[in-house]
Amino acid sequence: MGDGERTTTFCQWILDRTDNNREFLSNVLWTDESCFTRSGVVNFHNQRIWSHENPYAVRERNFQHEFSVNVWIGIYRNRLFGPYLLPARLNAAIFLEFLKAEHANMWDDVMLDLRRLAWFQLDERWIGRGGPVAWPPRSPDLNPLDFFVWGFLKQKVYETPVTTRDMLIDRIRNACDEIRPYLNNAIPRSIIRRCELCIEQLGLHFDDDPRVGAPKTAVTQENVDAIDAKLVSRWIPKVIRSLNEQRTVTADWYTTICLPKVITELRKNNPERKIVVHQDNASPHTAQKTRQYLTEENVELLDHPPYSPDLSPNDFFTFPKIKDRLRGQRFQSPEEAVDALKTAVLDLPANEWNKCFENWFVSMHMCINLRGEYFEKQ
């Protein structure tokens, strides 16, 4: 059995389990080890120093005295077990002694009824290499330690240079304290989504959804379900048709044709419906005439930060999705292209729109976590 088949089998097992028990993933103790070195892994694309004059800034990468720390962490529900420091040279015997010494203490704050449901290296409830449920090889995308925790911790640990091993250990512990409030239901949802993507790709590489980052208190199933995705498919084609008649987008067109169509559709069944508009900083959107119109229509406007395409659903979802569907097609007329565009929008299923808004919340919290600095899709 190849890696792809093993991974697909495991993902299907996860999905079957969650179908039968929605709390299953919450009962899994996810574990992993990682090595923290003195220099860490630095993404120089994110290292910028601004100055009107040459700052002659230097960042050291090679040191005469190197040091490192091996760290073991477990995640169970909203709890983080650890960090536990492991020896520099780790083998099966040493790891077994670590489990014997520390395993029982990890569960002190967990109710006995929950312990009985837990999956870990205990009796038949063991997910791992050689266990009753085999962990697929080379599958970091399925372990929240790999796709979330380690990246979060190392971002915090290496914000400024580390000079001693004790400083490195202190920063690891402090970063673990910072991440604890972020452990919530977003992690099981992300695992389910990753398993679905993995099965779609037959166990091969897939482009995963944005990394679970800062606390997603705003991302609840109730909030996501409240977004009527079908509504989008009702008014977008009308706007597209109007846009085809208006070659240049101006504030006049935006406030007399585009926005009135959208607002009318949204308030068709409820004239008092509250509307909040989010848009980028294109000149027709930021014009005084547009702001005045939205105020008169009692529409709340969310200001969009400059140079932030990662925070605009149209930039990171709608336009890429549509362009991907239309790629390679040739059109004989503008009308044919508009019809194809409308079809592409209408063919997007409702659950895709829900994922769009869910990922939007994830991106916003990642931005907060990084204090507004540039971040890449993980």
Q: Burial, 259: exposed, middle or buried (Cβ in 10 Å; 0-12, 13-18, 19+)? A: buried
- DSSP assigned state of 348: S
Q: Which two tokens stand for residue 242?
A: 């109007």
Q: Same domain, yes or no, for 25 and 167?
A: yes
User: Does the residue 214 lie in any domain?
Assistant: no
User: Does the residue 37 lie in any domain?
Assistant: yes
Q: Same domain, yes or no, for 198 and 281?
A: no
User: Does the residue 12 lie in any domain?
Assistant: yes
Q: Same domain, yes or no, for 62 and 157?
A: yes
The mean pLDDT of 249-264, rounded to a whole number, is 86
Q: Which domain holds residue 77?
A: 3-48+57-208
Where residue 358 falls (left for φ over 0; alpha for ψ -120 to 50; beta otherwise) is alpha
Q: How confident is the model at residue 113 (pLDDT cuts 50, 70, 90)?
A: confident
196-245: pLDDT as tens digits = 888 888 887 766 544 444 333 334 444 444 433 333 444 454 445 455 55
**Exposure string for 178-215, b = 16+ CB within 10 A, e = fewer:** ebeebbbebbbbbbbebbebbbeeebeeeebbbbbbbb
Q: Same domain, yes or no, for 315 and 230?
A: yes
143-188: pLDDT as tens digits = 889 888 988 898 889 888 888 999 999 999 999 999 988 887 788 8
User: Does the residue 261 lie in any domain?
Assistant: yes
Distance CA 263, CA 64 (A): 65
Q: Same domain, yes or no, for 227 and 361?
A: yes
Nearest to 78 by CA among 119, 120, 30: 30
Examine the fold and report which residue of 208, 234, 269 is the final residue of a domain before the chain moves on: 208
Q: How confident is the model at residue 44 (pLDDT cuts 50, 70, 90)?
A: very low
Q: How confident is the model at residue 58 (pLDDT cuts 50, 70, 90)?
A: low
1-36: pLDDT as tens digits = 677 888 898 899 999 999 888 888 888 998 888 899
Q: Which two tokens stand for residue 215?
A: 């606390």
CATH number, position 135: 3.30.420.10
